Structure 1
Amino acid sequence: MHGTRILLLPGWQNSGPDHWQSRWERLHGDQRVEQADWEWPRRGDWMARLDEVLQASDTSAVLVAHSLGCHLVAAWAAHSRHTARVRGALLVAIPDVERADMPPQLHNWRPIVRQRLPFAALAVLSTDDPYGDLPRTEAIAGAWGAPVQLAGPRGHLNGDSGLGDWPEGRALLQSL
């Protein structure tokens, strides 16, 4: 990963201090892409912010997305002219934002972008994620061209999942 920026893309409501993304930021110096509104995320605004961060440096990047951040990667890649700046993406805990029980704050992320990603990607999914039925999230990852790595029954793979610094996830990132 030498010479490559690691950009952390948290999901809805950001990643708290115990989340593996926040730990990676502290441990490895990865860069969180801050969004103007974490509570009412607007897809277009989040896409524009990612494009802005990617263009702010000549260094290529690997995207490390959690939850809604995964949908940000797909939506951004389908519309940006700067996808060559991305070397790959680790997509963790893809939620199904088209489910009827999703909060209204996430409705503008519908429909799910299902275009193949123009760079290497790997999806890490839990077998008991409360925000996405496994067959459905596997199908979303497949549409994006991202092979799936199952993490077992680990919930939403967030701060409540007991992952700590999540060295297994870091190893998967290195494999990209």
Structure 2
Amino acid sequence: MNPSITPTLLFVPGLRDHVEDHWQTLCAAQQPGSRTVPPLEADKLSSAARVEALQTALQQIDGPVVLAAHSAGVMIVVHWVRKYGGTRPIHGALLAAPADLERPLPEGYPALEAIAASGWLPIPRDPLPFPSILAASTNDPLGSLERVEGMARDWGSRLVNVGAVGHLNPAAGFGEWPQAAEFLRALCEAPASVAAS
């Protein structure tokens, strides 16, 4: 990659889409030229529709891209890789607090049956074809550390334990998450061929 070309940051929200005080929304506002996958008007729980929304957003960006995914947004990314991974190079990805959709989620989130019926399962475990940093919480109600560690191993992601930060969302006190910008900067500055180790 030409070092003068800076990757475009593309934020991939989870099932709750755009939350005004979420770290993704705040971080995107601070990153010139960044994009965010727009919310769906229909089929909001459909895995296939979410993957197509990500694909459409990527098709509108020229040059290298670094993804910044949160929660079910991480699952959108790994499903996208399974369907489209060979068609569009990705420079790197931040995978924050992945939601373990193979286990029942807390009250207020979709039921496991609805998630299965909407095409999310099983979670793809293929190695990712780009460097990635997986930011894991020790007390995330949407994914145990043990399960998330297994995802990182399978995907070939560099696992970073960010401590007891819940689900890294406003309900857990985030808001601002300054570490996200550090991770994204490292991914943008790394050569595309560098492994995620």
Give aligned-pair identity as a percent: 33
Query: Do structure 1's residue 75 and structure 2's residue 56 form an aligned pair?
Result: no
Judging changes above 3 Å, is the alpha-carbon distance between structure 1 residues 106 and 62 closer, same or farther for their aligned structure 2 residues?
Answer: same
The offset of 1:164, in angstroms, is 3.4
- The correspondence of residues 110-129 of structure 1 with structure 2, limited to 5 A, is 110-129=121-140
What residue ranges of structure 2 are gaps of 5+ in the alignment? 188-197
Structure 1 counterpart of 2:23: 20
**8 Å contact from structure 1 (residues 10, 68) kept in 2:** yes
Matches of 1:96 and 1:125, distance apart in 2: 12
Residue 34 (structure 1) aligned with residue 38 (structure 2): yes
Specify every segment of 5 or more residues in structure 1 that has no aligned partner in the other structure, as ranges: none
Contact (CA 8 Å) 2:43, 2:49: kept in 1 or not? Answer: no
- The match for 1:6 is 9
Specify which of 106, 109, 112 is matched with residue 115 of structure 2. Answer: 106
TM-score (norm 1): 0.91
1:88 aligns with 2:92: yes
Q: Aligned equivalents of 2:163 and 2:104: distance in 1? A: 25
Number of residue pairs matched by the alignment: 175
Deviation at 1:44, TM superposition (A): 1.1
The one-letter code sitting in structure 2 at the alignment partner of 1:22 is T
TM-score of the pair, normalised by structure 2: 0.82
| Cα root mean square deviation, aligned | 1.9
Rg comparison, structure with higher value? 2
Q: CA–CA distance in 2 between the matches of 1:3 and 1:129? A: 32
The answer as to whether partners of 1:12 and 1:38 remain within 8 angstroms in 2 is: no
